[in-house]
Structure 1
Amino acid sequence: MRALSRAHALSDPPVARPHILAWARAFQNKAYEADFDPDELAEARKWRASFDESVLPRGQTSYSRSSGPGGQHVNKTESKATTVWPLGELSKSLPSLLQPALRSSKYYSRRNDSISIQAQKQRSRSANTHDNHQKLAEELLRIYKERVPGATSEEKVKKYEALEKSSREDRLRAKKHHSSKKAFRKGKGFEE
């Protein structure tokens, strides 16, 4: 059992959790968006500004009997909606910065490489289908918020550039001081 769990742990790639990402960002000495491609950031921000749930692909919806209370209506109708969006189809309507994060979504189905969402709260098929589309939109916005940093102001960019410059200067100054100490110890510092 123990060997099986180790093998399983080695086969699954580590998933970055949002709280770990936020913690890591706090200790950086540069602007958070400095590590991103500016074109990808611009594309993602443009997508967010013009985001509309209606432009997302419709997906493939199937219906089945829902469970839980509802009496005869539940027994007679198939109102539970399961909508599947293949990642290839869904990725076409998303910015490239969000596409890799789809596989870490709670709705991701590894078996068929797709996003699969179910709804059965409403008594009608169309309402449950609409719920699925709303859940997809909410998940995409959550991924956007987690992955795409807010725009950094010019002040902050200048601040981090100044910090980077002073850090570099301090490091060089310390190196020169250390090398002068070593030179002094070797006798090169004495002039007779």
Structure 2
Amino acid sequence: MARSSSGIVAGLTVAALVAVGFLGYQASATAPAHPAKDAPQAAAPSNAPAAPAPEAAKPAALPPDSGTGARVVYSVNLRRVWLVGQDGREQKSFSVMPSTAHPKPGTYLVSSRAGSVTGSDGVPVEHVVRFATVEGIVIGFSARVDGQMPQPDPTRKTGGIRMTRADGDALWAFATINAKVVVLP
């Protein structure tokens, strides 16, 4: 009798752990961008590079060879992302901080998303939108939870293309699974 009871308990424990894990994953994938009350953000250390000016370097228009239809357009050299609607009109454009690993120019699809994780640089990030892999390094857009956009350490291969939290919110809402991402040089 004791053996059958312990088997049932073990089975129920495994089932409960699986259910909790699944619910945790679902919660993180659909978590809101910010809790109702965000904690005040600490000032950036004085040696941290400043983020690019959000609109100062904005090009006049979406690059001409950036595809058609609804898409995310990412220019590595311009350090900029455009969110383009089905009608081909720019809905939003913003500066980003590229990672140290860059995808080749081309068209990709969003392959996975995560509400919050630890980035490849060890920093907590949110609204992760993954679309490519380069030499085993996963490439995706994300926003640091602390709101900073420092220059990545050039000695480490990382795949996080960083943006402000507000821009991360917009990209998260726009770039769902299988959304098109066009990478330009």
Hey, which of these two has a bigger chunk of helix by percent? 1
Instruction: Name the TM-score, length of structure 2 as normaliser.
Output: 0.29
Instruction: Report the structure number with the largest CA radius of gyration.
Output: 1
Hey, which of these two has a bigger chunk of strand by percent? 2
